[in-house]
Structures are given as structure tokens and as C-alpha cells.
């Protein structure tokens, strides 16, 4: 584990464009080493659809052991549409790691970077800076691999427990408090469907209980359908939102689309002891090997990792390093960098070179 400012990072590059966006993130972290008192030891390990094809498992036991021993886990995109388990589900070690290490808090920031186009009118003036917190081990995903399918019907069961919900809400309130200390609104909205389902009424009830412990955080309660409509009209009205797993899966893709797309969106899955950091996008096999992949989401995920390491180990320099990466990304986009998914000409190499230069 970590010794002072030295961190051991497990690197699971994954499939498709996963390795192509992971390499720039490692380059950025190497550059950060030269500008800070931090040092990193990177250990690569297999995970994903290609490993499943070779060995019949999404990842070997040695990969899981490495993740257990490392200070943090960097994960590229995993899975390929053409590679499936016998039940026709995709190979998804990113989901399996959430269950293995009890990573109950999925953190999905959505911040509109200067110079990046948003489909929302007025977003360039008003700005977008919000965080979706997605419970990542329960909800509808708790039945992954356990559903019952017959010729006539299929059933999946949603699970919400008090223990996980309490931890999730405490995490969410702490994040809102940290954002408030950094000059953000520090407001938290519980997003659910409590008007229809008893499980979500239970979820909201626990939220109300935890809210009493954090009176300085402004709270709101929203139904997920109304929340989705509001997000695509006035996303600047939101700060932090917390919700069940499946709702978070959908809403986090909506919020990513508001800030330029999944290629711009970082994420983290965090538990009490372990954390995984990865971009929100998939493996994009259609552009694999063409130099078109946007590494921004992966680079910003590395910045999130540094902020988490700072909080976990009390290393202030790590938080400063994460902010340095974010400022470098902001600068290159404000200066006119335009990835190919925006209709520009800048591919993986251009974006990487620009961020390194800005550092």
C-alpha cells in the first residue's frame, strides 16, 4: 500500500479503445510525477472480453489480488458486443469489481469544460457542474446473473438495503459538503420513484433520516422522470444527485451527453476501502486502432483518482495534482482543441500532446 506520497496503481486497460485511452492517462500521471512530490508504480493486469476469449474468465485471480493490494485501480473500457457469456450478457469486469470490493458509490461528475459544445441552449453561459451518485451494488443490478427466465416470462428483482443506503447517503452528504467548501452550492437531491414503488419509498425514507444529520446541506426529492426532464432544460440548477443503480446508469449517460458526450465524462466507483476509476464510455470497437479515441474521460478519471487518494491518505499534494490536470484539460479545450466526435480533427495523439504541453 502507499508509503507517504508513493502510490501503487493497478492498471486494467481492458478491450477495444481501453488501452488506447489508458496510455495517455499514464503519460499524464508520469508528467505529474515530475511536477510534484508524488510517485507512482503502475502494474498492468488483464481483464475483459479478450481475456475471457483466451481463458474463459473475465479476469484471473491474480488481477483481483493485484486490485486488492494496490492503492487505487485505473480501469479502461471493458467488454465487446460480439463476446458474450452463455446467457447472452456481455463480459463486464467493471461491474464485477463493484461487487467484489463493495464499491457502493458510483460517482459520475458532469462539468461543461470551456470550449466544449453542449446541446443545451444557454449552457455555455450558465455552465454545467453537477455530480450523479449512483448506488453501484444493489438496485436492479443486484439480480445480475440471477434472473429467472422461462418461455412465458422473465423476472429480475430489485434490492435496496438499509445498510448500503445509509452508507450511500452519508457519502453523498459528505461530497455535497466538500463541494460547498470549494464554493459550489452543496445541495443534494434524492432521485427515485417513491410515488409508485415501496422500495423507493423505503430508499427516500432513509435519505430523510440521514438528512437530519446534515442540516447545512440543502436537500430536495425528485421523481426520476421529472428529474430527467429538468436536466435537459435547466441542468445548471443541479449540484449533487443520488439514486438507485439502474436510474443512475441512465441518468449519468444523460448528464454526460450534456457536457459533450461520454468521451468527456470521468467516473469512479468507491467503497469504504477500495476505488476504481474509469471513463464512462465503452470500448468503441468501431474506431479501435484508428487513433480517433478521445482520452479526456480517462485523463479526468485519473484526476479523480488523485483527489480520492488525497482524501484517503491525507496527501494534500495529490489533490493539487488532480486540480492541475483539470486546469490543463480546461486550457486545451478553451484554446480550440476539437476531438473528432465534435466534428474536429484532433485524435488521441493530438489531445494527449496538448494536455501534456499544458501541464
State pLDDT tens for residues 70-128: 999 999 999 999 999 998 888 889 999 999 999 999 999 999 999 999 999 999 999 99
Closest-CA residue to 207 (of 239, 169, 158): 169
> Tens digits of per-residue pLDDT, 184-243?
999 999 999 999 999 999 999 999 999 999 999 999 999 999 999 999 999 999 999 999
> Candidates 3.30.465.10, 3.40.50.1820, 3.55.30.10, 3.40.718.10; correct CATH number of 118-259?
3.40.718.10
Burial of 355: CB neighbours in 10 Å, binned 0-12, 13-18, 19+? buried
Start-end ranges of CATH 3.40.718.10 in the chain? 1-117+271-358, 118-259
List 107's β-bridge partners, or say none. 133, 268
Report the CATH number of the 1-117+271-358 domain: 3.40.718.10
- For residue 145, what pLDDT is reported? 81
> Residue range 269-273: average pLDDT?
97
| Distance, CA of 87 to CA of 91 (rounded, Å) | 11
Rounded Cα gap, residues 18 and 20, in angstroms: 5
Q: What is the pLDDT of residue 1?
A: 43
Count Cβ atoms within 10 A of the Cβ of residue 343 and give its class: 0-12 exposed, 13-18 middle, 19 or more buried.
Answer: exposed
Cell of 353: 500532446
Would you say residue 351 has pLDDT above 90? yes
For 300-337, give one letter per residue: b (16+ CB within 10 A) or e. Answer: bbbbbbbbbbbebbebeebbbbbebbbebbbbbbeeeb
Residue 240 class from Cβ within 10 Å (0-12 exposed, 13-18 middle, 19+ buried)?
Answer: buried
**CA angle, residues 100, 105, 111, in degrees to nearest 5:** 130
d(CA 27, CA 225): 41
What pLDDT is recorded for position 139?
94
Per residue in 295-334, pLDDT (tens digit) is 999 999 999 999 999 999 988 899 999 999 999 999 999 9
Beta partners for residue 279, in sequence order: 266
Identify the pLDDT of residue 99: 92
**246-267: pLDDT as tens digits:** 999 999 999 999 999 999 999 9
Entry pTM: 0.94
Cα 262 from Cα 264, distance rounded (Å): 5
Query: What does the alpha-carbon distance between residue 191 and residue 170 come to, in Å, rounded to a whole number?
Result: 15
Long-range contacts of 95-101 (CB under 8 A, 24+ apart): 95/141, 95/144, 96/58, 96/59, 97/67, 97/73, 97/269, 97/276, 98/136, 98/137, 98/269, 98/276, 99/137, 100/64, 100/67, 101/67, 101/68, 101/271, 101/273, 101/274, 101/276
pLDDT at 17 over 80: yes
DSSP state of 247: H
pLDDT digits (tens, 9 = 90+) for 127-180: 999 999 999 999 998 888 888 999 999 999 999 999 999 999 999 999 999 999
3-state secondary structure 94-117: HHHHHHHCCCCEEEEEEECCCCCC
- CA neighbor of 78 nearest in space, from 324, 276, 261: 276
Amino acid at each position: 500500500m502507499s508509503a507517504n506520497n508513493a502510490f501503487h496503481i493497478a492498471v486494467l486497460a481492458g478491450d477495444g479503445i481501453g488501452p488506447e485511452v489508458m496510455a495517455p492517462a499514464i503519460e499524464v500521471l508520469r508528467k505529474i510525477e515530475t511536477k510534484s512530490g508524488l510517485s507512482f508504480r503502475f502494474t498492468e493486469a488483464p481483464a475483459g472480453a479478450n481475456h475471457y476469449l483466451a481463458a474463459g474468465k473475465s479476469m484471473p485471480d491474480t488481477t483481483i489480488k493485484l486490485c486488492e493490494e494496490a492503492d487505487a485501480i485505473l480501469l479502461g473500457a471493458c467488454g465487446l458486443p460480439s463476446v458474450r457469456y452463455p446467457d447472452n450478457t456481455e463480459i463486464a469486469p467493471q461491474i464485477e469489481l463493484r461487487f467484489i470490493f463493495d464499491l457502493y458509490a458510483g460517482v459520475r461528475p458532469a462539468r461543461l469544460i470551456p470550449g466544449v459544445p453542449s446541446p443545451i441552449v444557454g449552457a455555455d453561459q450558465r455552465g454545467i457542474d453537477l455530480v450523479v451518485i449512483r448506488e453501484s451494488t444493489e438496485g436492479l443490478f443486484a439480480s445480475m446473473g440471477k434472473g429467472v427466465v422461462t418461455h412465458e416470462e422473465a423476472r429480475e428483482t430489485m434490492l435496496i438495503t438499509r445498510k448500503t443506503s445509509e452508507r450511500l447517503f452519508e457519502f453523498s452528504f459528505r461530497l455535497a459538503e466538500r463541494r460547498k467548501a470549494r464554493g459550489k452550492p452543496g445541495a443534494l437531491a434524492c432521485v427515485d420513484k417513491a410515488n409508485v414503488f415501496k422500495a423507493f419509498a423505503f430508499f427516500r425514507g432513509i435519505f430523510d433520516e440521514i438528512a437530519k444529520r446534515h442540516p447545512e446541506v440543502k436537500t430536495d426529492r425528485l421523481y426520476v422522470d421529472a428529474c430527467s426532464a429538468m436536466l435537459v432544460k435547466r441542468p445548471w440548477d443541479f449540484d449533487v444527485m443520488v439514486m438507485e443503480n439502474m436510474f443512475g446508469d441512465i441518468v449519468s449517460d444523460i448528464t454526460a451527453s450534456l457536457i459533450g458526450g461520454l468521451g468527456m465524462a470521468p467516473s469512479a466507483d468507491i467503497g469504504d476501502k477500495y476505488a476504481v476509476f474509469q471513463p464512462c464510455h465503452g470500448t468503441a470497437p468501431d474506431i479501435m486502432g484508428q487513433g480517433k479515441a478521445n482520452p479526456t474521460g480517462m485523463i479526468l478519471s485519473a484526476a479523480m483518482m488523485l483527489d480520492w487518494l488525497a482524501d484517503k491518505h491525507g496527501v494534500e499534494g495529490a489533490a493539487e495534482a488532480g486540480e492541475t490536470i483539470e486546469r490543463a484539460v480546461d486550457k486545451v479545450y478553451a484554446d480550440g482543441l476539437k476531438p473528432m466526435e465534435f466534428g474536429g480533427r484532433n485524435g488521441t495523439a493530438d489531445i494527449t500532446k496538448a494536455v501534456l504541453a499544458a501541464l
